[in-house]
A = this chain, B = another copy of it.
Amino acid sequence: MDTARVDVGLYAEVLQYYARQMQALDGGKLEVYADSFTADAVFGHTPGREPTRTRTAILSDLYELRKRLDADPQQRRHMFTMVDMEPQQDGKLRCTAYALVLTTRPGADPGMVRSCVVHDVLVREDGQLRNQERLIDYDGV
């Protein structure tokens, strides 16, 4: 389990990237979240469904999700923990993290929606990290 050569700067950047990316999603900034994907990104977010391809289609999925959540008001939170990062030969970054999705409905205690594992491929575009791929494995499915 070779962790000795972790690129410290990159690791901190990835943690902060995830914080901003998921705070944008949970804060309803869907365009900001979609913009964290590359134009040709692949996002597999729902079990049993083909991954969504292109940023445009991802944004369209997000608008659909918003509609569903608007009908059942709640504050969702995506907590990423246990981030493992593996830089690839081609400069891409494979990251594997746990994601716990919480929800709080008005006046209620928080509840757990799902536990999953996020498999990401991050690339750098114009100096910024972006998701070229995000494939999510749900626990219990």
Contacts and interface: CB of A to CB of B under 8 A. Distances in A.
Interface of A: 1-4, 6, 8-9, 11-13, 15-24, 32, 35-36, 74-75, 77-85, 96-98, 100, 102, 104-115, 127-129, 139-141
B79 A100 contact: yes
A139 B1 contact: no
B80 A82 contact: yes
Contact of A20 (B3, B11, B79): B3
Contacts of A23: 82, 84, 96, 98
22 contacts: A1-B36, A1-B128, A3-B20, A4-B127, A4-B128, A8-B12, A15-B83, A16-B83, A16-B84, A16-B85, A19-B96, A22-B82, A75-B115, A77-B100, A77-B139, A79-B81, A79-B100, A80-B82, A102-B115, A107-B141, A109-B114, A110-B112
